[in-house]
A = this chain, B = another copy of it.
Amino acid sequence: MRISELSRRTGVPVPTVKFYLREGLLPAGRATAATQAQYDEGHEQRLRLVRALVEVAGLSLAAVRRVVAAVDDPPRTTHELLGAAHEALPPAVADDVDVTAATGVVAELGWRIDPRSAPLRQLAAAIAALEAVGMPAGVEVLARYGRALEPVATAEVAAVPTSSREDAVAFVVVGTALYEPVVLALRRLAQQDASARRFGVDCP
């Protein structure tokens, strides 16, 4: 298909598709002439992925670029792939944060975590922020959160397909980023339900 068809199918304006091509978020089409190129379903799929990462996962184009780079050039092992996906995703946290508290939580949970892991620094930053606003979170509270999330993560990792390399890559990268809004929305909904139960409100 040509660029206008790609645009029509995905609802993304042609100038924006061109912009993504320039930015390297979308691979170039197969050139058939100086002013003609062909795009296929792979391009359409990639374009949908980029839009979903931007609109739903709220990623910046820079983060999207890192994510699709991980998709295009995946590390050798699935475990490393997960690490690459986590490195690509925001929030970026400086290397020099004090991860002591976060490491304590992880230890309490008995998890095996690389001490340079990006999520570890993100957790450390979040803990520090809670302290800064005068709402410190104790290790046992954080461990309760962690234990609640354990079965979810285990199920997710168990669902990673091992049959095909590409399937695994897509699943890990997309799943990590696109399920975050799902988790956040469900947490908020669960809060509303719990709040309705506790404070007793009539819902229309």
Contacts and interface: CB of A to CB of B under 8 A. Distances in A.
Please give the count of copies of this chain that the complex contains: 2
A38 to B, nearest CB: 21
A69 interface: no
A79 interface: yes
Given A86-B188, A154-B190, A145 B178 contact: no
Nearest to A201: B79
Contacts of A123: 181-182, 185-186, 189
Given A56-B91, A153-B187, A193 B113 contact: yes
Interface in A88-139: 90-91, 102, 105-106, 109, 111-115, 117-120, 122-123, 125-127, 129-130, 132-135, 137
Interface of A: 45, 48-49, 51-52, 55-58, 77-79, 82-83, 86, 90-91, 102, 105-106, 109, 111-115, 117-120, 122-123, 125-127, 129-130, 132-135, 137, 142, 144-146, 148-158, 160, 170-171, 174-176, 178-199, 201, 203-204
